[in-house]
Amino acid sequence: MSPKLLDDTALHAREQTILDAAQQLINQVGTTALTMDKVVAQVPFSKGTVYNHFSSKEDLLTGLCNSSMQDLAAMFQRALSINANSRDRMLAVGFTYMLYAYLYPDKFMLVITAKTPSVSDKASPARQDEHLDLDNRLLTLVSSVLQQAINDQDLVLRNGMTVEQVTFAFWSIGFGTISLLSENVERCGTRHGMLLEQAVIINCNLVLDGLNWQPLTSQNNTAELINRLKHDVFSTEIAMLEQQGRPLKL
């Protein structure tokens, strides 16, 4: 009897099962201790089947990263659906990035793991191409807000700055703040007592004010924006955090 051929939907579902098992293992033992054999032991598929989907541990890690980036892009799109000025929409991106990292800290850090040469160089070409496409998709979403700001004359780029440079600066301040204030990083010096969710919004506003992005913080109702995001856009995610006993302090 010929082997049963799976359609794209079934293949995707099988791949997602493998990804979910790998993510659960990472949550339990960390990225370093993850092995393909451990993943095989957690799924109802043969070792050969798992390797048909992922050629190596590094390919699997890149696949997990890509899945996380898809989820983040979907959350960005939800945040950017709000009817607001460009300043508030950019703040919404910062809030969403923080919320995603708060909800899924292991997935958040996987994005960096997948960019290290020891991982990316061993991932399959198809997985690497998918990663680059997702990178561009995220950057395009953020850049579209910058373009709106320029078109609406809320922002004037000076001194030869480009949209790409400003996008990178905004991403850097968000990622840096989240990384330095994450729960598994020792708090010391100026970080002692800081709250992740508050620091992200404050630092985003510092960058936007530094760019003279209108309206400035002193003229903008950030609290109203955060309330809209919490109740109108991300009510499900906020409820998840509250059920876990980790409500946002915003």
Whether residue 142 lies inside any domain: the answer is: yes
- pLDDT value at position 195? 86
177 part of a folded domain? yes
Please indicate, yes or no, whether residues 100 and 208 belong to a single structural domain of this protein.
Answer: yes
CATH code, domain carrying 76: 1.10.357.10
Angle 81-82-86 from CA coordinates, rounded to 5°: 100
| Residue 37's CATH number | 1.10.10
Residue 194 lies in a domain: yes
Q: Which of 52, 46, 58 is nearest to 22 (CA)?
A: 58
Residue 249 is assigned to a structural domain of this protein: no
In terms of domains, do 47 and 88 share one? no
Contact (CB, 8 A) for 114 and 68: no
Report CA-CA distances (Å) from 96 to 58, 101, 201.
28, 9, 10
Asked if residue 214 belongs to a domain, the reply is yes
* Same-domain check for residues 74 and 124: yes
Say if 250 falls within a structural domain.
no
Number of compact structural domains in the chain: 2
Task: Say if residue 146 is in the same domain as residue 224.
Answer: yes
- Say whether both 88 and 210 belong to one domain: yes
22, 127: one domain: no
pLDDT on residue 1: 42
**Residue that is last in its domain, among 29, 54, 79:** 54
Q: What does the pLDDT read at residue 2?
A: 44
Q: Which of residues 38, 54, 70 is at a domain's end? A: 54
> Are 42 and 83 contained in the same domain?
no
Q: How far apart are CA 40 and CA 55, in angstroms?
A: 13
Q: Do residues 86 and 183 both lie within one domain?
A: yes
Instruction: Say whether both 16 and 116 belong to one domain.
Output: no
Contacts of 56 (CB under 8 A, 6+ apart): 36, 122, 123
Distance CA 37, CA 47 (A): 8
How would DSSP label each residue in 77-142? HHHTTS---HHHHHHHHHHHHHHHHHH-HHHHHHHHHTTSHHHHTTS-HHHHHHHHHHHHHHHHHH
Residues 120 and 237 in one domain: yes
Half-sphere exposure of 225 toward its Cβ, with a 13 Å CA cutoff?
25
Domain boundary among 10, 36, 54: 54
pLDDT profile of the chain (250 residues), mean per 10: 64 94 93 94 95 95 95 96 96 96 89 88 94 94 95 93 92 91 60 82 95 96 96 96 90
Residue 10 lies inside a defined structural domain of this protein? yes
Q: Identify the pLDDT of residue 184.
A: 56
Whether residues 204 and 181 share a domain: the answer is yes
What is the structure's pLDDT at 57?
Answer: 95
Query: What pLDDT is recorded for position 87?
Result: 96
Domain coverage including residue 181: 61-243
26 and 125 housed in the same domain: no
Give me 8's structure tokens.
Answer: 């794209």
Q: What is the pLDDT of residue 191?
A: 61
